[in-house]
Every structure is written in C-alpha cells, then in structure tokens.
Chains A and B, each alone.
Chain A
C-alpha cells in the first residue's frame, strides 16, 4: 500500500538535491519559512478556537484577535455541565466503541468469508455489500427513521450503534478485503492441517495477522462515527443521549452569543479526535487509501 509511505517520512532524514551551495541553503530556508507560515495560517482557525475557549465572553467580543490577558476555565465548566457536553462525550465514546467493535469483528469475518470462500455466493455477497456505498444516508433516512420508531429506539443510543455498524460495513469489508488479498494463505492452511476449526483459525491466525488493518478500520470508522451529524441528529437529537456533534448543535442554539462557552464546547469535541488522530494517523491514512481504492 503506497499510502503507508505518506506518513513514514519522519524517520528518513532530509535528502538535499546534490548541491550544497549557500544560495541553495538560503533558498531552502526561505521556502521552509514560507511553508511554515502558510501552514500556521491554514490551521489558525483551530488554534484560535482553542485559545478563545479560555477567554471570557466579553474579551472575545471586544477584541477577537488581541493577545489574551487572562485565562480561565469557566467556559469549560459551563460547556461540560450546563451544556451537557460531558454526557455527550460519554455517549459518543460508548457509541463509537460499540460500533467499531462490531465493524472490526463482523466486518473482518465477513471479508474473510468473501475472500477465502471465493465462490459465486461470496461474489454475490461482495456485490451486495458494495452496493451499500451507492446509497448515501439521505437515500435511506426516512425508512430508517420509521424502522427505529417501530423498534422504539428513537432517542436511544442503540439506534446510532445499529445505524453506524450497518452503514460502515461496506467500508470495513473493503479495507479488510484489500489486506486479506495480499495475505499469504499458507498460515491458515497450516493451521487447518493441524486440525484447527474456522473459529480457531480466525482467532489464532487471521485476527493477529490482520491486526494492522483492524487498527486502520477502527481509527477511520471511529473518527467518521464521532464526526457524523446528519443521521444521529434525527435518531438521538434532543434526547439525553445526544452525540457530541448533535449536542454542539443544540448547545449553540442555547448560547447564541456566548462565544467563549461555544468554543469551550468545540475544543472538548475536538480533543478526542486530535488524540486519536495523532496516535493512529499512519493507520488512518492507510485505511483511507485502501478503502477508497475499492
């Protein structure tokens, strides 16, 4: 997978293009400075919003770009308890973890069946699952809502887990499939020769060997689930089980002019994403490449 190398640059030292003249070095330095400034400008909205979250509302309204005079955590307490962001973070995490567990277990087994069975039924199953990629959430929204209504799951976090687990199945299968196709089959055969059953082979051979792709699936779908707004708004909007983006939406509605509180909420929503992103970015990008290639 070529995408792996995109982030592998860290360990490799910079390689100049032969010449070491002073002119070239100065050129590189100027180029780097320009790039660094452009990059900081590009991410400045994120930096700004984190910085805002420590300021009082009046300080923001008076001088949005001025250097902060004092920092306070009061916005965070407002957002956390009065705004309900603390609860939303908890439920978002629960929903993401359960959905991701389903996607890594059921998606992996399904992809294993499709790739290793390799008969006509498996091809039909693959086609059937991939057809799901052609139906974006808006094309499924209303019957899904009716279905959840009849199951009495509207306003229940289980509805979001079921929705995310099902919706991201095609992506999960696609990523696992692309890894499985490149995985030598001999290890599995050896286990079968030794008398292992399917579940034992899965547990002791396939799951360990597919571990990197599981991390890719988990990080990619995890962030997608965490960030999703369109369908969760309908399923848990207005309930006590709202996910973070849905909660942010209602929170901003309540505190229209209170930018400090809003930014504290935004910062709380973003921190988990950034942590996962920094820890797992290599796998994330790998999964993105594998998933979109299908």
Chain B
C-alpha cells in the first residue's frame, strides 16, 4: 500500500526521507531505501535519471469517463432521492417545497407498509438462513475434488444464473393447483396439497423457497471458496487429537468459514431486502397483501398513485436498511472472527 509520504520519496529519491514504515531512516538506510523505492514503483535508476518526475503516474483524466457516467446516473439520483424525500414533489410539478418528515411518517404509519415491512423482514431472515444452511450442506458434501463433484457443483449453481423473473414463472407453474407439486403430493400420499401461492398463509413461504432455490447457489460457491482456503493440516491436527467429524466441523471448519459467511450473508440479506422480481412473477403482492414487499410497494405507490415523495422516502429507508444490515452482518462475523 502506498502512503502519501511515498510521493515525497519519489520526488527526491536521493535524499533519505522517513519511509512509509514510519521508522527512523537511520536504521538500515541502504536496504530500506531500495525496498521502499521498489514498493513505490519508482525504478531507482529511472528516478535518478529524470530527477524523479511523476510522469509514470496515471493522471486524473484517465478516471474521468468512469467517474463521469457514475456521477450522472448513480451519484446524482442517489443524492436527489435523499433530497426530494423531504419535499412534496410529485415528479411533474415545477415547484415543490419542503415538508420535513411528512413522507417518512406516512410511509412508517401506514398499516400496509408495516405488512410490507414484516414480509420483507421475514423473507430476508428466511432467505439468509435457508440459503446459507443449504449452501453450506452442499459445499461440505461437494468439497472433495473430483469430476463428479465438479459437474454437481455446476448444476447446483444453475438456478442462481437464471433471471429471477424466469424462476418466478417456472415456480408459478410448479406450485399451480393440479400442477407438478400437487401431483407429487398425491403420489407420495401426503394428503391434500397446500394452496402454495394461492393461500394467504403459504404464499410468502412459497416465495421464500423460490429465492432460497436461487441464492443457495451463490452461498455454495462462496462457502466452497472459503472451505478450500482452510489448511488441511488443521483438520489433520484435530483428527490426531481425537476430534470426530462433528467436532471438527464445529471447532475447525465453522470458525474458519466466518469470512466466507460474512460475504454470503451480506449477499443473501440484500437479496431479501430488495425482493421484487419473484413476487411480481408469482403473486404480485397477493393474495390480499400477504406478499407485498418494500420494493413492490415502492413501485406501486410511485407509479400507480404517482406518489413520488412517498416513493423516495421508501427508497431512502431501503438504502438505510441495506447499508445497516450489511454493516451488521460484516460486524457480527468479523467480531466473532476476532474472538475465535
């Protein structure tokens, strides 16, 4: 990593400056200087020859195309959302004025929004737990290297690569009355099949199952990467000490998987918080409001009722939720990692 002081070294390569290590330059001048020179990318000979010009550092104009497009179509809309959320702007009028927290109050006080909020929360917890437990199980079963496992891993990741809206329609058919799942139910003599998407109580769990079907592929891949980073010798040592399979899983594998879990949990919780495509494809929020989520409400309120201020307040709240939950996941897993 280069530090701001590195540039000074470069500008005056002959003089000994305090190095980025922060130690006194008196200690081991020669070697350290050469090493730091190498680290700061300046070839010592070249630096001496041209007086240490910074010509080989890329200029800011290289960053401009990327930063420009990003500023116009990501940064500006994000800042504008936060600004307009406090106004009564409806997307059409030329004039608007500040209304304070009115939009936020109306989002948070409506009963329908509370339903959407609890649904989203339920889906987030369900998806995060379901996808990671299933992903971990598959990753553990398929962690040995073989051609057989390789093909199976590809297949377990397949649903993750599908567009969510396509997954939603496929499952709408599978869940449909007298559809495939219904037939399987009869075949296995399980009694009357549940209503799945048509039943107010079973619709949300049915949608969560679809999301788990997709997200578990990502969890598997991330956890497999984590598993393969674990030193085999640790398992060997635990085995020598008489630890069984479950004990090794509990005391060796799981603690060392925490960084992988952190990433996987961030991914799955964010998917849950933004749940939209699958709901639109399956129930569109119904039956009643049983499967309304924050994202479906944002769309409906903004474009069916032209309530833009409301939609932007919801957008701000979703942003805060995503940021807060991601930070919480990283904190939880890194804290435990530090303790372990």
Contacts and interface: CB of A to CB of B under 8 A. Distances in A.
Contact of B319 (A120, A134, A230): A134
Interface residues of B, number: 102
A100 interface: no
Given A106-B69, A169-B70, A223-B161, A139 B59 contact: no
A45 B225 contact: no
Contacts of A109: 62-63, 65-66
Nearest to A234: B303
Interface in A1-50: 2-3, 5-10, 12-15, 32, 35-36, 39-40, 42-43, 45-46, 48-49
A229 B164 contact: yes
A137 B183 contact: no
Contacts of A229: 163-165, 276-277, 280
B332 interface: no
B84 A193 contact: no
A193 B66 contact: no
Contacts of B76: 143, 147
A227 B162 contact: yes
Contacts of A274: 158, 161
B123 interface: no
A166 interface: yes
Contacts of A5: 225, 228
Interface stretch (A71-79, A184-192, A210-218): A184-192
Contacts of B66: 106-107, 109-110, 129, 169, 173
A209 interface: no
Contact of B150 (A10, A42, A173): A10
Contacts of B46: 189, 192-193
B186 to A, nearest CB: 10
B117 interface: no
A281 to B, nearest CB: 6
B131 interface: no
**Interface of chain A: mostly helix, strand, loop or mixed:** helix
A125 B63 contact: yes
A43 B221 CA distance: 16
Interface string A60-72: 0000110000000
A229 B279 CA distance: 12
A270 B161 CA distance: 9
Nearest to A248: B165
Interface string A263-294: 10010011001100110010001001100110
B162 A142 contact: no
A106 B302 CA distance: 33
B56 A188 contact: yes
Nearest 10 pairs of A and B residues by beta carbon? A110-B66, A166-B73, A14-B146, A143-B80, A139-B319, A140-B77, A118-B2, A9-B145, A227-B163, A106-B66
21 contacts: A6-B225, A10-B150, A12-B146, A14-B144, A43-B156, A45-B174, A64-B173, A102-B69, A119-B57, A129-B70, A131-B75, A138-B274, A140-B77, A140-B81, A142-B91, A162-B69, A162-B72, A193-B43, A227-B162, A274-B158, A292-B267
Interface of A: 2-3, 5-10, 12-15, 32, 35-36, 39-40, 42-43, 45-46, 48-49, 52, 64-65, 102, 105-107, 109-110, 112-114, 116-122, 125, 128-129, 131-132, 134-147, 162-163, 165-167, 169-170, 173, 185, 188-189, 192-193, 198, 201, 223, 226-227, 229-230, 234, 244-245, 248-249, 252, 259, 262-263, 266, 269-270, 273-274, 277-278, 281, 285, 288-289, 292-293
